[in-house]
Chain A
Amino acid sequence: MTFSSLTSDTKREGRGWLTLEAILPHLFTLLMLLLWWGYAQFVPDYQLPSPWTVARRITLFVTDPVDMMQLAASLMHVCVSITLAFAIGCVLAGLAHYVLALRLLIDGRLTPFLNAFSGIGWLFIALLWFGLNHVTVIFAVTLILVPFTVINVRTGLQELDRDLLELGQSLTRSAFRRVTKIVAPLLLPYLFAALRTSFGVSWKVVLTAELFGGNAGVGYLLNQARQEFDTETIFAIIFFIIIFVAAAEIVLFRPIQRSLNRRFARV
């Protein structure tokens, strides 16, 4: 291929940052953009706008205050839903762990039920109950997220180190102190995993919920663009979301995960 000259160059340089391994993903991105651009020359704009047009539309999108308000609305939906689902999930998992009588109800009935329930189903039920508004979106997204949180936190509670709990019992008789000083820190990786999964899933579904059940948010914009066959805007929104979610993952979640892994590595 055409990279052969590059390969020999990098080999000569040794194991610097400019190795083939480090450069290949960027070359791949470039190649894909090139292919996209090339293909866009042959098909009409409403089917595939060129990367250049999409990039311009994204800049318009980012600088337009009205569009940014819609993004803020989506962010609000995501944050509220994640918080609610996190709280509900923690309470359910805690009840299943500490109240024996409820264990079968939550582990054997409620969680499998919620886990099997379709997200689209929640959305349409919410539409019947609340109509087109914020509540519908938040309700649907929250209920989709709850099983993910329950399962993660529940696993964390089951994996708690019994010896450490026993140690805690011999150190203090205050249950509150034991929870805040021992249980919560031990649960941290699982709570974080729950948040990370929730974030990924919520962005996947929030646009669907807004498209069908919202009167605000990026999904609502997407619906308008779809009705007007405005493929440029559709592409711009999709790519903006991809960049946004990927950036959050790289800037926020991965570093935290790394430090958690370091701290909680079992020796």
Chain B
Amino acid sequence: MFKAAGSSPVQRFVAEGTIIVVLVIWWAGARHLPSFVLPGPLDVLKATLSFVTRPEIGYHAVVSFARVIMSVIVAMLLALGIAVAVRAAPILDGIVERRILTFLNSFPSVGWAILGVVWFDISTPTVLFIQTAIVLPFCLINALAGFRQIDADLDELGMSLTRRPLRRFFRLTLPLAAPFLIAGLRVAYGICWKIALVSELFGASSGLGYLLMRAQSTSDAPMVFACCIVIVVIFGVTDFLVLKPLARRISVNQGLSS
């Protein structure tokens, strides 16, 4: 996020020390509180590990992960399509910017979840529909911005180099817009995990959202905490290993990497 490099020993001591202190306070506090209010760190760790040891629980995490990836990709492709259309016909700009974007941006996420269940049955496509609808505006904002900032001179250069529009699009337009698209992808991916999981509370009988709901209704507090931790871990790991390096590589090359 911000430059963590060059942290002094004092900073390290404070950072790791605070985490240990918090864990100790948690452990001590949990001993005096019933498990359905605050489960101890060990119980939560056990429940978290069950995602690895028990396939029937790990399955829910895998299902959620696959759904998130798919909806983010679908939303990004849709956003790209709309942005390309606006670029081809600038007269559409007002419609997209002032109507479609405003509409999608103001739509409450739980509204999509309820409508998805009213319109379709409880199934994976419904979840995908809800999640895609929720993250679409975040993709669209970035896709539009990415295409808008493309240097007109470079565009002209492309025109003089090849007459094939597809080639121009993949060799010039797309790489130039790539930093914005990656930024949009990162935001959409985060929103999908953080907010769009609401789709699984209504529209599914599998996935982490469903698991959270089930754990809450049976007062299985360790499982509620474990689900939260699993989401943090999945999001953190994928963001750190895939999205962040991708964003860095593309922005360093100013989008001109082939």
Contacts and interface: CB of A to CB of B under 8 A. Distances in A.
Nearest to B7: A104
A24 B14 contact: no
Interface string A116-159: 11111110110111000000000000001000000100100010
A201 to B, nearest CB: 8
Contacts of A107: 1-2, 4
A24 B11 contact: no
A128 B195 contact: no
B219 A128 contact: yes
B198 interface: yes
B216 interface: yes
- Indicate the size class of the contact surface on chain B: 35 or more
B252 interface: no
- Indicate the size class of the contact surface on chain A: 35 or more
Contacts of A100: 8, 10-11
Contacts, number: 168
A105 B102 contact: no
Interface in B76-125: 91-95, 98-99, 102-103, 105-111, 113-115, 118-119
A241 B106 contact: yes
A79 B88 CA distance: 42
B11 A116 contact: no
Contact of A119 (B194, B219, B224, B239): B194
Interface stretch (B48-56, B151-159, B227-235): B227-235
Nearest to A245: B106
A211 B110 contact: yes
Contact of A200 (B7, B8, B105, B118): B105
A29 B99 contact: yes
B15 A28 contact: no
Contacts of B12: 104
Instruction: Determine the main DSSP class of A at the interface with B.
Output: helix
A124 B224 contact: yes
B31 to A, nearest CB: 17
B195 A249 contact: no
A224 B227 CA distance: 28
Contact of B91 (A24, A48, A113, A122): A24
A167 to B, nearest CB: 25
Contacts of A242: 103, 106-108
Nearest to B103: A242
Contacts of A229: 118
Interface of B: 1-2, 4, 7-8, 10-12, 14-15, 18-19, 36-38, 91-95, 98-99, 102-103, 105-111, 113-115, 118-119, 190, 193-195, 197-198, 201, 209, 212-213, 215-216, 219, 221, 224-225, 227-228, 231-232, 235-236, 239
18 contacts: A21-B93, A32-B99, A107-B4, A117-B194, A118-B194, A120-B198, A121-B224, A122-B228, A125-B225, A128-B36, A128-B216, A128-B221, A151-B1, A200-B105, A205-B195, A207-B111, A208-B109, A238-B107
